[in-house]
Structure 1
């Protein structure tokens, strides 16, 4: 994949992996658009990287997602790269949480339905432009789930399955479909308690960029590579290992 002179939309780009990826792509000469739920975080992101183009949008709400896509289509018709990065997680016990169903719906809307909706809405303009690419961000936990997360693993596994099917269905088109599986990464997503094995956002993005430059369709970053292998050779061991990881104090 050519990583210069693109117009790139990154969801969830105001912090963590999304923001780090935005900075790297801008340095490579790309026009980068990000969206996020928090205007405060978007403002801080622009302070860090003034070249960012930002939009406030809660992607879990279908109407906001539709209106956002219309704005992108009207104002940035040259868009040729969509990176579905936004995701949320609820770390809780299923039976002991009164609002668990509402949490599940919110995670599914944000982590799975929003990417599908954006792909459907933006594919027409993506395909009109040079070398259109859709990148879906998932996780090594699609192979072995972490029990702390009752829904996150499932939403990302669903996105992984969809990505494989969508790639097959579009194999004769001009659109490039890529999936990036990240390990645990030290970002605000972990709310100050990432697993001790978590890598930096800089390292994670650097490996992702290398994979894109090599035109890989599936990019397993750092520990996600090992989890992929171990989960197939010894699935019970992989499950125990993933669920024995300690968080930082």
Structure 2
């Protein structure tokens, strides 16, 4: 079923893939709420999309997640879709980077802990509304890691398996648990130097929304399909291939 006439929270929707999600879902007549740590980015997003509802929130902080959830309960009780999109990644040499443990903590807080915390806080609201969905954004790197992203890989693998468990535990409930796995998308993430296999954010989100409309629950976008097959058939080759990009 297509996502229409819904009230949707998208974390990290002020730029990149998240902003493109906001853009396309607003066009479909949905009410979109997004949060970000950066008020400036949120305000810029709202200039482009005046219908967008913005809320400044650092999801790595439990108290701010709780405040956001309470604000949603009071102001947007019709919430029926949560998209856990916000994420960070650090390119590091684990042993030689003096701040590697600090970066590890921050990545796991944002990429893994925050989505779970928001699901726990917002589930009572989501489940009381029609056509409810939880959408967790992960990556094809859950199958084959890129060695430059030691914590991003690991945090997304954790979210990947948590999503599978949550889907199983809630299989009798009227809520869909969806995972969307992206790989290379031409966004500011790549700092102006996207890999050759990168697709546009518009194409990536269009493919995502089409798959959701067909009731798919584990959605592999573009080259993730190929990476998954390589991982199943020749894992060592897949590891070399993904790290040669």
Taking structure 2 as the reference length, the TM-score comes to: 0.98
Task: Describe the SS at the equivalent of 1:181.
Answer: strand
- d(CA) in 1 for partners of 2:113, 2:191: 24
The alpha carbon displacement at 1:193 in A equals 2.7
Aligned to 1:204: 204
The alpha carbon displacement at 1:189 in A equals 1.7
Give aligned pairs, total. 245
1:241 aligns with 2:241: yes
- d(CA) in 2 for partners of 1:151, 1:117: 19
Deviations 1:57-86 (A, max 9, x none): 111111111111111111100000000000
The runs of 4+ residues in structure 1 deviating greater than 6 Å are none
Q: Which runs of no fewer than 5 residues in structure 2 stay unpaired?
A: none
Deviations 1:150-182 (A, max 9, x none): 100110010000000000000001111000001
The alpha carbon displacement at 1:9 in A equals 0.3
Aligned to 1:32: 32
Deviations 1:217-243 (A, max 9, x none): 111000011111110100000000000
1:162 aligns with 2:162: yes
Taking structure 1 as the reference length, the TM-score comes to: 0.97
1:22 aligns with 2:22: yes
Deviations 1:129-152 (A, max 9, x none): 011100000000000000010100
Q: Which runs of no fewer than 5 residues in structure 1 stay unpaired?
A: none
Aligned to 2:42: 42
- Map 1:47-86 to 2 at 5 A: 47-86=47-86
Aligned to 1:90: 90
- d(CA) in 2 for partners of 1:117, 1:233: 36
- d(CA) in 2 for partners of 1:196, 1:129: 42
- d(CA) in 1 for partners of 2:119, 2:213: 22
- d(CA) in 1 for partners of 2:195, 2:221: 16
Deviates more, 1:232-241 or 1:70-79: 70-79
Aligned to 2:224: 224
Aligned to 2:118: 118
TM-align CA RMSD: 0.8
